[in-house]
Amino acid sequence: MHIIESGNVAAATGVKLSRAQVIAAYPITPQTPLTEKLSEFVESGEFEAEYIPVESEHSAMGVCIAASTAGARAFTATSANGLLYMSEQLHWAVGARLPLVMCVANRGIGAPWTVWNDQQDSMSQRDAGWIQLYANDHQQIIDTVIKAFLLAQTVSIPVMVCYDGYLLSHTYMPFDQPDQGDVDSFLPTFSPENFLNPEDPGNFNPVTLPDVRPGVDGKMEPGYIEIRHNLHHDLRSSIEVYGEIDSEYEEKFGRGGNPFIEKYKCEDAEFVAVCIGSLSYQLRDVIDIMRDSGTRVGVMGVQMYRPFPDEAIADALSGKKCVIVFEKALSYGNQGPLYGDIKSALYCSDDKPPIHNYILGLGGREIRTQHLLDALTDSCGSPETFGDTPRWIGLKL
Amino acid sequence: MKTEDFCKMISRGKPGPGDGGNTGSWRVLRPVINLELCIPVKTNKRACFNCWLYCPDSVVSKTIPPVINFDYCKGCGICAEECPVNAISMVDEATPIDEEK
Amino acid sequence: MWFPGNFRRHPPLDWAETLKKNIMEKKTTILNLTEEEFVHPGNRACSGCGLSIIYRIGLKALGRNTILVVPPSCLTVLQGLYPVASTQLPCVNVTFASTGAAATGVRGAMRALKKENVNVVAWAGDGGTADIGIQALSGACERGEDIIYICYDNEAYMNTGVQRSGTTPQGVLTTTTPIKGKLQEKKDVPAIIAAHGIGYVATASAAYPLDFYDKVKKATTLSGPRYIHVHTPCPPGWSFDSRYTIKVGKLAVKSGLFDLYEIENGEFKLTGESKRLVGKDKPPVNDYFNSQGRFKSLDEEMVKKVQAQVDAKWAGYDA
């Protein structure tokens, strides 16, 4: 069924279709309408779930962690400082291997306060161990949320579904809402092997030693480092798993096929612009303009940022004349996070392209098509004349 | 779908005694029950059992006579202090064990 | 080691009389208290640990159909290091500030999964309750979550080595109030929780485990948020010999400093030993202070001030 709704409502609808059982969230702009919609779904009886209006984001994730440990499918959503307030809990959820799904309506971080879009919030949590998926439009938001629940419970790792605040969260677009029956056959009930069970008691997440230690049955059990190694291993494997889940989804719903990166006019391109989120669709207009004037340029949106699909990215970018990375986030004092990751993905390539880094749109600064065109034209005109220092677009100094 | 088993490692402790090892080795003083004074023994009735109630480590049995599990008794002395008839004394751990009456 | 001079041996307890009286009041007695144990021996709690006593007794009252939520605290250590668990009940360890929220989440999952009649019990220390955890606890109380929250108050951050907490009494020496003692008064957490208007708030003491047992048992028969605050002597943190855990705890109650009470549906009543103290002479608070090393820096003026506060409080109770 096609409907026209906001990105937040697309996310809420995906959560409802995925039959989340426990939802806890705290309002924060621009995620708030998602929370409001879920509370409305639950209160109207349209959606059978426990909606818990907690007193903070830290508690929202606390509720989800405990509910998931007890065997329920749990969901939360947040933005910016809310995400940072639950940072400790993000790490906890990963270490406890809980299949949570969380939407992040990307917003800049204070101080100073900003409510507008950039991606510094989720980027700053990239090392927590969560799987990070980014959606570029409303259709991708709802589809990604549903896929995220299956991915999370397959690999027992929580998944963050990120989309640009306001640009996607508050704009209205048509999208197809999958049928409940189809989603039910795609996403099986959550029935974990380990959960809080009085009939089979266990102590979850206790202090774990630096070394291996025998259990009560004499069997040697892992230490902290083995458990963390296993997490990393499963996180890397989840790249392949997500590819399979995406294919399954495509087969059932007719949408997908680009689980890791979404390419536009990249095949014959000499130059490729790379970015995350809705910016990649805005860049398509710029690509078209430049193609009209004879520059063979394409754009690639990164949809899965953690685990980093480095093989797919290296395949797509090696041999190009120049790769231009546009970012709404910065590893302060260094360079854009995506830029650094792409550089390292290409390190082993025999045919490494020069890579440029542009920082733009922080705190919601308007990204003008002309600015993007100027930057791309500049980079394509002189691919060799760039250092590691990111260039800023649209600064008014 | 991939058949690989995920999440083979989580930190989930299984219930069992002796997480701290043989905590009886912590003892400096050992509780010794004088059965001639012990109320349940003297009266041969299920009575008193203060030593059982207050033991932080559940190492005293609720039996006649009460028996202390010295593998795990940490020697805190609460049982001796709370015994209403002073039937329990704390003796130096170096004292031979067969002195127990 | 410091050794108290003011403890006198009590005359032998007339256990037969106590038993008769307790049966009349339908109170749990030593004799009918279940022998089933839920905490394994050989755990890492310190010798003479007050928490160990109430944990052992509390779990007897809760029974097997219980899920525990535990933030970092001495209880984390007692619970055991992976892969051994010292508790025979399911337990989830959670982050320090999230206990109230995590208990909420477990209950939410129980409702969603249609699992009825499970006791969802948060068990936290005074730091995890009064300080870093108070926001999540307050939120859970305000939302009316169906959880039991037990705070064992050993009056400082013991697990990290005796630093001051919100519930450390005034004048107490801790490793972060090492010379003058804590300057501020103890935060009244049960009163803060009671101000949320929840149905059941009680205080208890590790020195009166049967009274605590009955309060936990009563809590399991009620619904909504239920809060029990337990005064819990700590031999190393309070600096007294481990054998005096019960004696020190009793003195806190008998001197009138720490009161045992219940606030049920807004109605306050003294219980157990505190109820028996109404209208009676009590030992001076200084006896309690002298029983521990942590009050060493108290001067006469402070002792007088505290005694006056206690006397004024009890004048109210007596009337």
Three-class secondary structure assignment of A258-286: CCCEEEECCCCCCEEEEECCCHHHHHHHH
Domain ranges in chain C are: 15-318
Residue C22: the pLDDT is 57
Mean pLDDT for the stretch of residues B29-46? 97
Residues 6 or more apart in contact with residue A378 via CB below 8 angstroms: none
A140: how many CB neighbours lie within 10 A of its CB?
26
Find out whether A59 and A66 touch, Cβ atoms under 8 Å: no
* Nearest neighbour of B14 by CB, restricted to C41, C49, C85: C85
Find out whether C239 and C271 touch, Cβ atoms under 8 Å: no
Q: Among the residues of A318-356, which ranges form H helices? A: 337-345
Show which of residues 124-163 on chain A sit within 8 Å of chain B, judged by CB atoms: 154-157
Query: What is the ipTM, given to two decimal places?
Result: 0.96
Dihedral, CA of residue A189, residue A190, residue A194 and residue A196, to nearest 10: -100
Number of domains in chain A: 2
Residues 6 or more apart in contact with residue C179 via CB below 8 angstroms: C173, C297
Query: Within a domain: residue A107?
Result: yes
Q: Does domain C15-318 have CATH number 3.40.50.970?
A: yes
Interface mutation vs chain A, best among C69, C73, C82, most A CBs within 10 Å? C82
ω before C190 within 30° of 0 (cis)? no
Could you identify the residue written with the tokens 């047992």?
C213
Query: Within a domain: residue A368?
Result: yes
Q: Are residues A300 and A176 part of one domain?
A: no
Query: Does the pLDDT value for residue C193 go beyond 70?
Result: yes
Could you identify the residue written with the tokens 């397959």?
A154
Closest-CA distance, C57 to chain A, in angstroms, reads 18
Mean pLDDT for the stretch of residues C189-193? 98
Find out whether B81 and C51 touch, Cβ atoms under 8 Å: no
Three-state secondary structure call for residue A324: strand
Closest-CA distance, B69 to chain C, in angstroms, reads 9
Is residue C172 exposed (0-12), middle (13-18) or buried (19+ Cβ within 10 Å)? buried
A203–B13: do the CB atoms touch at under 8 Å? yes
C109–A208: do the CB atoms touch at under 8 Å? no
Find out whether A22 and A12 touch, Cβ atoms under 8 Å: no
Closest-CA distance, B8 to chain A, in angstroms, reads 8
Three-state secondary structure call for residue A173: strand
Output the domain CATH number for residue A14.
3.40.50.970
A13-16: which pairs have CB atoms within 8 A and are 24 or more residues apart? A13/A37, A13/A142, A13/A177, A14/A141, A14/A142, A14/A143, A14/A144, A14/A145, A14/A146, A15/A75, A15/A101, A15/A103, A15/A145, A16/A41, A16/A46, A16/A47, A16/A49
A8: how many CB neighbours lie within 10 A of its CB?
28
Query: Does the pLDDT value for residue C13 go beyond 90?
Result: no
Boundary of a domain, candidates A186, A217, A245: A186
Q: Considering just the CA atoms, what is the radius of gyration of chain C in Å?
A: 19
* Nearest neighbour of B12 by CB, restricted to A156, A204, A241: A204
Residue type, A51: Y
Residues 6 or more apart in contact with residue B48 via CB below 8 angstroms: B38, B39, B40, B84, C15, C30
Residue type, A75: F
Query: Within a domain: residue A53?
Result: yes
Residue B47: the pLDDT is 95
Closest-CA distance, C115 to chain A, in angstroms, reads 11
C39–B58: do the CB atoms touch at under 8 Å? yes
Query: Does the pLDDT value for residue C212 go beyond 70?
Result: yes
**Which helix (H) or strand (E) covers residue A74, if one does?**
strand A74-78
Query: Within a domain: residue A377?
Result: yes
Find out whether A114 and A108 touch, Cβ atoms under 8 Å: yes
Query: Within a domain: residue A246?
Result: no
Q: Are residues A296 and A175 part of one domain?
A: no
Find out whether B8 and A227 touch, Cβ atoms under 8 Å: no
A203–C109: do the CB atoms touch at under 8 Å? no
Q: Are residues A272 and A167 part of one domain?
A: no
Q: Are residues A157 and A300 part of one domain?
A: no
Q: Are residues A386 and A281 part of one domain?
A: yes
Q: How far apart are CA A259 and CA A302, in angstroms?
A: 9
Structural domain harbouring A100: 2-186
Q: Please, how many CA atoms are within 13 Å of residue A119, restricted to the half-sphere of its CB?
A: 32
Question: Token digits for B10?
Answer: 């989580």
Residues of chain A with confidence (pLDDT) below 70: none
- Which sign, positive or negative, has the C-alpha torsion C108, C109, C112, C115? negative
C262 pLDDT tier (thresholds 50, 70, 90): very high
Closest-CA distance, A22 to chain C, in angstroms, reads 6
Residue A385: the pLDDT is 72
Boundary of a domain, candidates A131, A157, A186: A186
Chains B and C: how many Cβ contacts under 8 Å? 128
Query: Within a domain: residue A254?
Result: no
- From the list A129, A146, A149, A133, the residue with the least C-alpha distance to A234 is A129
Please state, in angstroms and as integers, the Cα–Cα distance from residue B83 to each residue in A142, B28, B60, C33, following that order.
68, 19, 12, 18
Q: Are residues A175 and A300 part of one domain?
A: no
B78–C246: do the CB atoms touch at under 8 Å? yes
Find out whether C83 and A215 touch, Cβ atoms under 8 Å: yes
A237–B4: do the CB atoms touch at under 8 Å? yes
Query: Does the pLDDT value for residue B36 go beyond 60?
Result: yes
B12–C87: do the CB atoms touch at under 8 Å? no
Q: Are residues A129 and A42 part of one domain?
A: yes
Three-state secondary structure call for residue C29: coil
- From the list C227, C216, C231, the residue with the least C-alpha distance to C61 is C216
Interface mutation vs chain B, best among C56, C81, C240, C242, most B CBs within 10 Å? C242
Query: Does the pLDDT value for residue B72 go beyond 50?
Result: yes
Show which of residues 55-84 on chain B sit within 8 Å of chain C, judged by CB atoms: 55-59, 62, 69, 71-72, 74-78, 80-82, 84
Three-state secondary structure call for residue B60: strand
Could you identify the residue written with the tokens 């997500």?
A242
- From the list B42, B43, B76, B44, the residue with the least C-alpha distance to B59 is B76
Mean pLDDT of chain C: 93
Closest-CA distance, A70 to chain B, in angstroms, reads 13
Boundary of a domain, candidates A128, A157, A186: A186
Query: Does the pLDDT value for residue C24 go beyond 70?
Result: no
A63–C76: do the CB atoms touch at under 8 Å? no
C31 or C1, greater pLDDT = C31
Domains and CATH numbers, chain B: 35-99 (3.30.70)
Q: Are residues A157 and A9 part of one domain?
A: yes
Q: Are residues A14 and A107 part of one domain?
A: yes
Q: Are residues A182 and A45 part of one domain?
A: yes
Residue C15: the pLDDT is 55
Output the domain CATH number for residue A322.
3.40.50.920
Mean pLDDT for the stretch of residues C85-95? 97
C101–A198: do the CB atoms touch at under 8 Å? no
Q: Which residues of A86-118 are buried (b: 16+ CB within 10 A; e: fewer)?
A: bebbbbbbbbbbbbbbbbbbbbbbeeeebbbbb
Query: Within a domain: residue A213?
Result: no
- pTM as predicted: 0.95
The rounded Cα C111 to chain-centroid distance in angstroms is 29
Query: Within a domain: residue A197?
Result: no
| Strand ordering across the sheet containing A131-134 | A50-52, A22-24, A74-78, A101-106, A159-164, A131-134, A304-306
Q: How far apart are CA C117 and CA B85, in angstroms?
A: 42
C85–B15: do the CB atoms touch at under 8 Å? yes
**Which helix (H) or strand (E) covers residue A159, if one does?**
strand A159-164
Question: Token digits for B64?
Answer: 């006649």
